[in-house]
Amino acid sequence: MSAQDFLVELGTEELPPKALNTLADAFLAGIEKGLQSAGLSFEAKQVYAAPRRLAVLITGLATQQPDRSINLDGPPRQAAFDADGNPTQAALGFAKKCGVDLSEIDQSGPKLRYSQSIQGKPTASLLPTIVEDSLNDLPIPKRMRWAARKEEFVRPTQWLVMLLGDEVIDCTILAQKAGRDSRGHRFHHPENVRITAPANYLNDLRAAYVLADANERRELISKRTAELATLQEGTAIVPADLLDEVTALVEWPVPLVCSFEERFLDVPQEALITTMQDNQKYFCLLDVDGKLLPRFITVANIESKDPRQIIEGNEKVVRPRLTDAEFFFKQDKKHKLEDFNLRLQNVVFQEKLGSVYDKAERISKLAAFIAPRIGGDAQRAARAGLLSKCDLATEMVGEFPEMQGVAGYYYALNDGEPQDVALALNEQYMPRGAGAELPSTITGAAVAIADKLDTLVGIFGIGMLPTGSKDPYALRRAALGVLRILIDKKFDLDLTDAVAFAVSAFGTKVKAAGLAEQVLEFIFDRLRARYEDEGVDVATYLSVRALKPGSALDFDQRVQAVQAFRKLPEAAALAAVNKRVSNLLSKVEGNVPTTIEAKYFDNANEFSLYSAIQQADQAVQPMAAARQYSETLARLAALREPVDAFFEAVMVNAEDAKVRANRYALLARLRGLFLGVADISVLS
């Protein structure tokens, strides 16, 4: 079967840059789906996207659809005809479904059957529908119309190229008649560009100052930006999202170095970077110390004979934005940071939970409670908590919301607050996402934990629990943040006490009954997903969860110990024994006996197990006290042999009540040793 290359390019007005990659990938996926549905084979696929075009190149596309047959089974004969041999509605309905008369249906078998051979169509006749369906299925939130046309698309269309080999596909899509003429750069080459062949698409456009391959443009921008930054003795900040957006804004990228007045460097560099990146799409430059340089890189969409004009134009545009940031910074510094708390008394945090200022006061008290328990200073934590939300009322954060926390840090330093207090104002929001940076100071960690626990307790306390699809207060992220800080920073905080303190701080604003237990359950449930992501078996998590440790760090240490224990050859047998012992003890009426008396032993294996338990108990007590859980379980693994011997030779449920009670007490002591770390019966 013969094959040809196929090219489709839809030309438009400038497409939304943040959606360009999504649109391109969906365009390719739709065409690929259509080709597969039609049974058309091909060798390779490639998508191209630029500000004014979406294109797909299919290499080695079969020029003829293969023949195929359809075989459909209908109702059984007895259901298709009545006693007089007349067709029933089931038979007539089947014929109608097949689009033929009943006489054309095969009635010789046990069921009615329709078979049809369908001759394959030329690929050229199928492509218009495939392309049109793909375009109609693009993820476009809001389509637009233009002029008096009824067609709708994300932007007005301007031209359409559709080539199968050397032939133009005769069709009209989105008001554009297909041809072989594309268009070059809007200024360098406004004339039409003749696409000589699908395989020559990139080169034909490159000659017209258009780099249609987004990957090629992205690499060129990245490489040239790095080179220019090096020439300026700096390093460029190139966030992946910004690089993608800039790539989608230009057809012929030309990076240029611009500058701004050094006086703006007195403004927090985060504000300058934010406005230059978000509003102007510039790449900022940092020196070797990570400080902002008074220069930036813009990516022009034209190869100018006088680049200086482009540079000066961008410098003129950015100056007012930097001036705004400078103005807000100076205005805010006229007041003490703490003074902004007065404004927060009128800002609602949550209708039932009071103002943002109320929240800051609660955070202050809770942070002071937490700080000494993780090795910090209560007074500094309380101070940081009180100032934690002040910058939300500043002009800077009002203009640049991304500056919350960061602005507070700079204003706190300006007021002479201690370094860790200032840092805590930004660190309270950490971690800002999965795998993101954690607080570097204990004060910051205390405030971050307090902020998150306060939100969890407050929102749970008014009954606004997150659902599978809705979590408006980001409670899951808050719980995960608390766990990450405590575990990764190795802070041994008893969350039971901290949550109880947080509940008491709300007073009558929340329903306190059972609230602490509900919040703790929610927090520790987040660990299950964390461990699954790390490859820890859920049974390991459940074995520790059964003990309900209050410390997240302690919980994690136990989980790691159980994971290591499961690799030991004795683990499976001891887990099974614990399960058996647990079942036996659960059937004991009343309290499980605790006193072991050797005089009731009547089997040498009882003496052996009792001796082994005593020795193990003495050995693991100091280990357990030091939370050496892995060593504890490794030592307890040595009990397998005397345990196995005991169960082989001893009947636990002896007829003599005192002997039976003594054996229960022995097994309870055995189980208690393991429960010092985890309920390993769950592993069985």
From 332, 366, 383, the end of a domain falls on 332
Share of the chain above pLDDT 70, in %: 100
Domain count, the chain: 5
Cβ count near 566 (within 10 Å): 18
Token digits of residue 117: 């051979």
pLDDT band at 604 (very low <50, low <70, confident <90, very high): confident
Q: Could you tell me which of 120, 82, 112 has the C-alpha nearest to residue 96?
A: 112
Residue pair 244/218 in contact (Cβ under 8 Å)? The answer is yes
Q: Indicate if 498 and 563 belong to the same structural domain.
A: no
Q: Indicate if 138 and 108 belong to the same structural domain.
A: no
Long-range contacts of 595-602 (CB under 8 A, 24+ apart): 595/662, 595/665, 596/662, 596/665, 596/666, 596/669, 597/662, 600/656, 600/658, 600/659, 600/662, 601/662, 602/659
pLDDT of res. 382: 97
Q: Is 547 inside any structural domain?
A: no
Residue pair 239/283 in contact (Cβ under 8 Å)? The answer is no
pLDDT digits (tens, 9 = 90+) for 646-675: 888 888 888 888 888 888 888 889 989 999
Q: How far is it, in rounded angstroms, from Cα 324 to Cα 398?
A: 12
pLDDT at 70 over 80: no
Average pLDDT over residues 63-92: 85
Q: 155: alpha, beta or left, given left = phi > 0 and alpha = psi -120 to 50? A: beta
pLDDT digits (tens, 9 = 90+) for 272-297: 999 999 999 999 999 999 999 999 99
pLDDT at 493 over 70: yes
Q: Is 454 inside any structural domain?
A: yes
pLDDT of res. 112: 86
Q: How far is it, in rounded angstroms, from Cα 204 to Cα 425?
A: 55
Core vs surface per residue 463-492: b (16+ CB within 10 A) or e? ebebeeeeeebebbbbbbbbbbbbbeeebe
pLDDT of res. 63: 93
Residue pair 123/164 in contact (Cβ under 8 Å)? The answer is yes
DSSP H helices, 333-377, are 341-344, 356-370
Helices 515-533 + 442-461 axis angle, to 10: 120
Q: Indicate if 484 and 343 belong to the same structural domain.
A: yes
pLDDT band at 1 (very low <50, low <70, confident <90, very high): low
Q: Which domain holds residue 668?
A: 559-683
Letter for the amino acid at 510? V
Average pLDDT over residues 608-625: 91
pLDDT at 81 over 90: no
Q: Is 104 inside any structural domain?
A: yes
What beta strand segments (E) does 16-166 contain?
44-50, 53-62, 68-76, 111-118, 157-164
pLDDT at 308 over 90: yes
Q: Could you tell me which of 140, 123, 129 has the C-alpha nearest to residue 26?
A: 140
For 94, the enclosing helix (H) or strand (E) is helix 89-98
pLDDT of res. 581: 86
Q: Indicate if 98 and 164 belong to the same structural domain.
A: no
Residue pair 190/24 in contact (Cβ under 8 Å)? The answer is no
pLDDT at 111 over 80: yes
pLDDT of res. 243: 97
Average pLDDT over residues 377-391: 97
pLDDT band at 114 (very low <50, low <70, confident <90, very high): confident
What beta strand segments (E) does 519-608 contain?
none
Q: Indicate if 105 and 149 belong to the same structural domain.
A: no
Q: Is 223 inside any structural domain?
A: yes
Q: Which of the two residues, 501 and 108, has the higher pLDDT score?
A: 501
Q: Could you tell me which of 445, 432, 439, 428 has the C-alpha nearest to residue 370?
A: 445
Who's near 88: CB < 8 A, 6+ residues apart?
A: 75, 79, 80, 81, 82
Q: Indicate if 47 and 135 belong to the same structural domain.
A: yes
Q: Indicate if 355 and 456 belong to the same structural domain.
A: yes
pLDDT of res. 274: 92
CA distance between the termini of the chain: 60
pLDDT of res. 104: 83
Q: Indicate if 458 and 354 belong to the same structural domain.
A: yes
pLDDT of res. 367: 98
Average pLDDT over residues 86-109: 86
pLDDT of res. 136: 95
Environment class of residue 631 by beta-carbon count within 10 Å: exposed (0-12), middle (13-18) or buried (19+)?
middle
Share of the chain above pLDDT 90, in %: 75
From 281, 302, 332, the end of a domain falls on 332
Q: Indicate if 447 and 528 belong to the same structural domain.
A: yes
pLDDT of res. 564: 92
Average pLDDT over residues 529-544: 92
pLDDT at 67 over 90: no
pLDDT at 69 over 80: no
CATH number, domain with residue 492? 1.10.3210
Residue pair 405/429 in contact (Cβ under 8 Å)? The answer is yes
Q: How far is it, in rounded angstroms, from Cα 254 to Cα 250?
A: 9
For 182, the enclosing helix (H) or strand (E) is strand 181-183
Mean confidence (pLDDT) of the chain: 93
Q: Is 55 inside any structural domain?
A: yes
Q: Is 30 inside any structural domain?
A: yes
Q: Indicate if 129 and 36 belong to the same structural domain.
A: yes
Q: Indicate if 351 and 465 belong to the same structural domain.
A: yes
From 482, 503, 535, the end of a domain falls on 535
Q: Is 552 inside any structural domain?
A: no
Q: Indicate if 372 and 237 belong to the same structural domain.
A: no
Token digits of residue 510: 């929340």
Q: Scan for tokens 């269309």, then name that residue.
A: 157
pLDDT band at 595 (very low <50, low <70, confident <90, very high): confident
pLDDT at 191 over 80: yes
Average pLDDT over residues 30-48: 95
Q: Is 541 inside any structural domain?
A: no
